[in-house]
């Protein structure tokens, strides 16, 4: 083993490697080594670990890397590597961890990536890969962690993705997919984290999303999904983080949303719901952040909103709510941020609003509250932490 990692003052280019070297581990993390990987890297046929994380390396990956058939961990991330990934990468059939994130690789991901049937972690995020994701990726049935974030992947997500039943963390965010999400996404029943935000997916969200009963985080914000939210979403009872922001979801928010009692962060902002907010929203008693702004909800705010006694931030500005503010809002004693701007709320503000002594930012502006004399605003004296107040 040769480990010189975390020695930024140790620098130089890599030497030529002799044939039949007994070296099993080469760890160069966060050193001052620089330059291209020599073609002779392929002579290290006993190598099991190669870690070049956070270095100063550049250039193409030599095809001779495919000779390292005993390697189990290959970390090239946070370097200046460029060019296409050689098809010979598929020869590394002992590989368990492959991290090439935050490099400047380009071109298509080679189909031979699907030969790495021992792979458990693959990260090619924040590179410049483009084109379709190869269906052969569906051969990686042992994989638990797959990050393809922030590339130029386009076209359809292959149906073979549904084969990855061991997958726990899938990040497809910030790509250019131009298709519907395949129903086979529901086969990934080990999945705990799913990020498809900023991905350009369109069409309806498949009802099979409700099969992901291990899911804890789901982000599909800033896509082009439309139609109704499937009631099956209410099956995700372990979920703590749910972002559906900035799509074209419409119709009613399903009552089944009330089943998500573990939910802590819910973002529905910038959609086209055309219904009342269901009273079942009050069942989400773990909720700390709720954003329903620019959502087109209408009707009265249900009194059950006062059951959300863990809430710290709530934004329901720029909707079409009307009627009186329910006095139960005064139960939200942990809340620090409350925006009700630009609705049609009317009547007098309930005295119970004075219970919100943790408030730091309150915006009630652009509503139709009835005028009150100064004695009616005595509750404001309790807002010792308030730094922003909008009321006109």
pLDDT tens column, 143-186: 999 999 999 999 999 999 999 999 999 999 999 998 999 999 99
- CA separation (Å) from 44 to 60, 108, 194, 347? 18, 27, 37, 78
pLDDT, position 391: 78
Q: Could you report the per-residue pLDDT of 204-236, keeping only the tens digit for each?
A: 999 999 999 999 999 999 999 999 999 999 999
Q: Could you report the per-residue pLDDT of 304-314, keeping only the tens digit for each?
A: 999 999 999 99
- Residues 359-371: what's their mean pLDDT? 92
pLDDT bin (cut points 50, 70, 90) of residue 384 is: confident
- With CA atoms as reference, report the closest residue to 164 among 206, 203, 124, 136: 136
- With CA atoms as reference, report the closest residue to 5 among 28, 25, 32: 28
Q: Which fold has domain 1-179?
A: 3.80.10
Q: How many residues does the chain have?
A: 392
In this model, does residue 379 exceed pLDDT 70?
Answer: no
The whole-chain average pLDDT of the chain stands at 95
Q: Is 353 helix (H, G, I), strand (E, B) or coil?
A: helix
Q: How many helices (H) and strands (E) does the chain have?
A: 0, 33
pTM, two decimals, is: 0.95
- Residues 22-51: what's their mean pLDDT? 96
Measured CA to CA, the distance from residue 380 to residue 147 in angstroms comes to 48
In this model, does residue 341 exceed pLDDT 90?
Answer: yes
- Residues 6 or more apart whose Cβ sits within 8 Å of residue 7: 30, 31, 32
- Residues 247-251: what's their mean pLDDT? 97
Whole-number percent of the chain with pLDDT over 90:
89
In this model, does residue 303 exceed pLDDT 90?
Answer: yes
In this model, does residue 284 exceed pLDDT 90?
Answer: yes
- With CA atoms as reference, report the closest residue to 216 among 152, 174, 275, 168: 168
Tell me which of 1-10, 62-71, 119-128, 172-181 is least confident: 1-10
Q: What does the domain layout of the chain look like in residue ranges? A: 1-179
pLDDT bin (cut points 50, 70, 90) of residue 370 is: confident
pLDDT, position 386: 81
Measured CA to CA, the distance from residue 190 to residue 250 in angstroms comes to 29
pLDDT bin (cut points 50, 70, 90) of residue 385 is: confident
pLDDT bin (cut points 50, 70, 90) of residue 372 is: low
pLDDT, position 321: 97
Measured CA to CA, the distance from residue 10 to residue 30 in angstroms comes to 10
pLDDT bin (cut points 50, 70, 90) of residue 373 is: very low
């Amino acid at each position: 083993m040769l480990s010189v990692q975390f020695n930024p003052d140790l620098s130089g280019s890599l030497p030529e490697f002799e044939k039949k070297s007994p070296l099993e581990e080469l760890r160069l993390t966060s050193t001052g080594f620089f330059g291209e990987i020599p073609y002779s890297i392929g002579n290290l046929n006993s190598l099991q670990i190669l870690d070049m994380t956070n270095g100063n390396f550049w250039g193409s990956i030599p095809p001779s890397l495919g000779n390292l058939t005993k390697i189990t961990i290959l970390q090239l991330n946070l370097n200046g590597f460029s060019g296409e990934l050689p098809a010979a990468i598929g020869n590394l059939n002992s590989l368990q961890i492959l991290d090439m994130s935050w490099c400047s690789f380009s071109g298509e991901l080679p189909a031979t990536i699907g030969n790495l049937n021992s792979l458990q972690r693959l990260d090619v995020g924040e590179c410049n890969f483009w084109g379709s994701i190869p269906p052969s990726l569906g051969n990686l049935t042992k994989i638990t962690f797959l990050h393809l974030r922030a590339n130029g992947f386009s076209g359809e997500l292959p149906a073979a993705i549904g084969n990855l039943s061991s997958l726990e963390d899938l990040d497809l965010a910030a790509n250019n997919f131009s298709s519907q999400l395949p129903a086979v996404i529901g086969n990934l029943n080990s999945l705990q984290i799913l990020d498809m935000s900023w991905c350009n997916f369109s069409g309806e969200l498949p009802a099979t999303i409700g099969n992901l009963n291990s899911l804890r985080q789901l982000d599909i914000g800033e896509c082009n999904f439309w139609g109704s939210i499937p009631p099956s979403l209410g099956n995700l009872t372990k979920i703590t983080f749910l972002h559906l922001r900035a799509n074209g979801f419409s119709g009613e928010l399903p009552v089944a949303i009330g089943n998500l009692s573990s939910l802590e962060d819910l973002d529905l902002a910038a959609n086209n719901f055309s219904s009342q907010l269901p009273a079942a929203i009050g069942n989400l008693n773990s909720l700390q952040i709720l954003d329903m702004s620019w959502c087109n909800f209408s009707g009265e705010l249900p009194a059950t909103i006062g059951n959300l006694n863990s809430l710290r931030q709530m934004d329901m500005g720029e909707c079409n709510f009307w009627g009186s503010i329910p006095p139960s809002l005064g139960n939200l004693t942990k809340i620090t941020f409350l925006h009700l701007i630009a609705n049609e709320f009317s009547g007098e503000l309930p005295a119970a609003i004075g219970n919100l002594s943790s408030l730091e930012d309150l915006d009630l502006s652009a509503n139709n509250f009835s005028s009150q004399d100064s004695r009616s605003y005595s509750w404001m004296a309790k807002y010792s932490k308030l730094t922003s107040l909008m009321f006109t």
